[in-house]
Amino acid sequence: MEDSLKKEYYELLKFESVGADPAKLKECASCAVWLKKWLEAIDFDCELLMGDIKDGKASPPVLYAERSGCEGSPTVLIYGHYDVQPADPISEWKTPPFTPTEIDGRVYCRGAEDDKGQFFAFLSGVKDYLAGNPANAPTIKIILEGQEESGSEALIALADSMRKRIAADVLLVCDTSAAADLRPSIVAGLRGVSHFTVRLKGPSRDLHSGAYGGIAPNPAQAIAEIVSSLHNPDGSIAVDGFSDGIERPTGEEVAAAEAGADSKEAYEADIGCEAAGGEKGKSIVERNSFEPTIEVNGIHSGYAGPGSKTVIPSEAFAKISMRLVPGQSIRAVRDAVTAHLKAHCPRGMTLSVEDYTLGAGGFRLPLASPLFRLASDVLSEMDDRGAVYQWDGASIPVISVLKEVSGAAPLIVGWGQPEDKIHSPNESYSFAQFDKAREWGRKIIAAF
């Protein structure tokens, strides 16, 4: 990587652009302005778009950029997000979370991979192509947003009004993972996602556990009972109506997914424990690629400091996310889960479902797509092992929205690896991965 490019990459990483945190709005706006200037320097027309102000709070800006291409060329829409996950828990970082630090060929920093590193490397490849072939380039449109990690609210609100503006033939996304050892991977499907908070309230205040034990209901115990009710003993989901309408994968899709998957041992080495989540009797690929999930992201109640504090807490809450698959209705799922939670609320307490983000449903793309054949040819030039297909268990909810609004066929190829530790302390991205994403950006634009 040239020193000038590394300098730009590090400048981008230093913005503490946590889109979900209103206190970081200025950092997000500064990051978007930096990206606008970077794109304008390579002849893109750029505009910062603002979503509606809600509850007196503005959203991070959406950056839209466009560069007209040669007549008759396809139109390419590129999507990425400049927002990052919070750095918490900061105490577990071995380097400052927003100071890019090089160690053994990797850059450690929040956003080094997800998604600043990935989209910036890809756009650097686009810049390389434009420098040598400006007259032959296709029309390129770019959307970079600051809320992907928290639901893409501003972009989704703006999307319909941008329908004509962002119309395209292909939607390119570099925000996923390659297979083991950086073998190229084409993502043929993504799960959707919704998330919410369930809150229980009991006594009017924290109570002495001796004076009131056996009398007052305990929200801490109750929240554990409620979240455990979401699954059956075999790990399957116990919510009536949750799985209605699921479109099962074809045998060809399952076979292709299994062929490109890591071994059970590799998964367990990555996560540090037995791969025992999900429904018993189903393979890891089935559980991660084709089945929906309900996951508890955190439970909070009562005292958690040093020593003991013998209280019955007055309230408790849990953060819950759901990964959804094609065929599931995001609104029907919301209604089914809400009904289940309310039906399992213990006596003496009140339950509320808060901060519900519908997100978007999952999707799968046909393996026979001509776009996939083109991508496979390009990736085979980059790696003689050729590309594998993956159905990613993760979600980029706005992709479903952009696919519908723009009319573009998604082509999702990323270069992440498990050791990048995205969403965790000590996130990193290697220079080798950056170079792959950059090469992919240059070559796929050339192919169009």
Say how far apart CA 13 and CA 60 lie, in whole Å: 16
Are 261 and 393 contacting, i.e. CB atoms less than 8 angstroms apart? no
Q: Of 320, 291, 316, give the one whose Cα is nearest residue 303.
A: 316
Q: How confident is the model at residue 114 (pLDDT cuts 50, 70, 90)?
A: very high
pLDDT at 55: 67
Provide the residue type at 210 as one letter: G
pLDDT at 54: 66
198 - beta bridge partners? 318, 353
pLDDT at 187 over 80: yes
Provide the residue type at 52 as one letter: D
pLDDT at 39 over 70: yes
187 - beta bridge partners? 390, 412
Q: How confident is the model at residue 56 (pLDDT cuts 50, 70, 90)?
A: low
**Three-state DSSP class for residue 412:** strand
Exposure b/e, 34-64, CB count within 10 A at least 16 = b: bbbebbeeeebebeebebeeeeeeebbbbbb
Q: How confident is the model at residue 321 (pLDDT cuts 50, 70, 90)?
A: very high
Say how far apart CA 64 and CA 52 lie, in whole Å: 17
pLDDT at 205 over 80: yes
pLDDT at 8 over 80: yes
Residue spans of the domains in the chain: they are 3-191+362-447, 192-254+275-360
pLDDT at 393: 86
Say how far apart CA 311 and CA 314 lie, in whole Å: 9
pLDDT at 259: 87
The predicted-structure confidence for 138-147, as pLDDT tens digits, reads as follows 999 999 999 9
Structural tokens at position 63: 């950056």
The predicted-structure confidence for 10-26, as pLDDT tens digits, reads as follows 999 999 999 999 999 99
pLDDT at 322 over 90: yes
Section 42-69 average pLDDT? 89
Exposure b/e, 252-289, CB count within 10 A at least 16 = b: ebbebbeebbeeeeebeeeeeeebeebeeeebbbbbbb
Under DSSP, the state recorded for 194 is E
pLDDT at 57 over 80: no
Section 23-46 average pLDDT? 97
Q: Is 153 left (phi over 0), alpha (psi -120 to 50) or beta?
A: alpha
Under DSSP, the state recorded for 210 is T
- Sequence-ordered strand ranges (E) for 164-292: 170-173, 185-190, 192-201, 207-208
C-alpha torsion sign, points 252, 256, 259, 264 = negative
Alpha helix segments (H runs only) across 173-228: 219-228
The predicted-structure confidence for 291-318, as pLDDT tens digits, reads as follows 999 999 999 999 999 999 999 999 999 9
Q: Is 421 left (phi over 0), alpha (psi -120 to 50) or beta?
A: left
Give the alpha-carbon dihedral of 101, 102, 106, 110, to 10 degrees. Answer: 10
Are 316 and 219 contacting, i.e. CB atoms less than 8 angstroms apart? yes
Say how far apart CA 374 and CA 369 lie, in whole Å: 9
The predicted-structure confidence for 397-440, as pLDDT tens digits, reads as follows 889 899 999 999 999 999 999 999 999 999 999 999 999 999 99
Under DSSP, the state recorded for 58 is P
More confident residue, 365 or 112: 112
Question: What is the model's pTM?
Answer: 0.81
The predicted-structure confidence for 359-379, as pLDDT tens digits, reads as follows 888 888 889 899 999 999 999
3-191+362-447 topology per CATH: Aminopeptidase (3.40.630)
Q: Of 223, 5, 119, give the one whose Cα is nearest residue 440.
A: 119
- Mention every residue, 6+ apart, whose C-beta is less than 8 A from residue 171: 77, 78, 79, 399, 402, 403, 406, 408, 409, 410, 411
pLDDT at 352 over 90: yes
pLDDT at 174: 97
Section 179-183 average pLDDT? 93
Report the CATH architecture of 192-254+275-360: 2-Layer Sandwich (3.30)
Q: Of 419, 395, 424, give the one whose Cα is nearest residue 111.
A: 424
Structural tokens at position 408: 């573009």
194 - beta bridge partners? 322
The predicted-structure confidence for 251-276, as pLDDT tens digits, reads as follows 999 999 998 888 899 889 989 999 99
